[in-house]
Amino acid sequence: MSLKRFHHFVFTVLIILSASSCSDPVVNPPGDPPYVSLQTGDERQFVLTTDSSTLLYRITGTTKRSDSTLVFRSEWVYGTDTAINVSYYFIRDGYFIATDLDTTEQGHSAVPGNPFREQKLAKLYPANGDRWKSIDGDTSSIYFTASFTDSTQTFAGRFSNCVCYSAGDILKIFYAKGVGHIASHFNQGEGKYLASYIKTGGKVFGSKFPAKSPAGSEPLFTPSKRKLAESLLLGAM
């Protein structure tokens, strides 16, 4: 996959759900919380294990796409950077989806049948072995595969009842039931993003690390891989 395609594929971290007007109904057992959460006020900080640099994500509210679909607005910053990055997400048919606001946004190429270049980043209620295409209509799109794991360790603590969404040989993204996105592991020796602080659903896990930018004069990740972190980490809420 080219860097351009890789850039288009993602972010993130982070991924969040609620029963809101922008979300289609999802059939699930009463009292069974989803693996993904998406609600205004959610906040997550992730720390990169290789240099302790930080990513901070917040769901700040809702807005509408150009077709009037209601979506959530996510703001995120790297370390001590003052520039705010913005991404948009919503829930439909049991998937957590990243989207553009307009059909011509960010210079993306047209995708047949997918004018807003929607990216399915996670399932709210996965089954072991579930597999799906991230970007419908894109012949080079990455596929995600779901597998369950007993627990996952992060800076915010150890979380049980987790699911891992593998994106080919690129990375693995971990979610905990009722909590949401908790970690992303890169598969090519580039470290792990682990949650240090999570605020969601009236609960708080862990505490924030001091904001820290990537080590050295250049960021550890290329812009394309930082974009991936954005959607999946974010995707990650």
Q: Distance between CA 174 and CA 35 in Å, rounded?
A: 9
Q: Do 119 and 165 meet the contact criterion of CB atoms below 8 Å apart?
A: no
Q: Do 213 and 220 meet the contact criterion of CB atoms below 8 Å apart?
A: no
Summarised one tens digit per residue, pLDDT across range 125-154 is 999 999 999 988 888 888 999 999 999 999
3 state SS for 87-134: EEEEEECCEEEEECCCCCHHHCCCCCCCCCCCEEEEECCCCCCCEEEC
pTM, rounded to two decimals = 0.80
Flag the least confident range among 27-31, 141-145, 233-237.
233-237
Describe the chain by its helix, strand, coil percentages, rounded to 5. 10, 40, 50
- Residue 29: the pLDDT is 53
Q: Do 179 and 200 meet the contact criterion of CB atoms below 8 Å apart?
A: yes
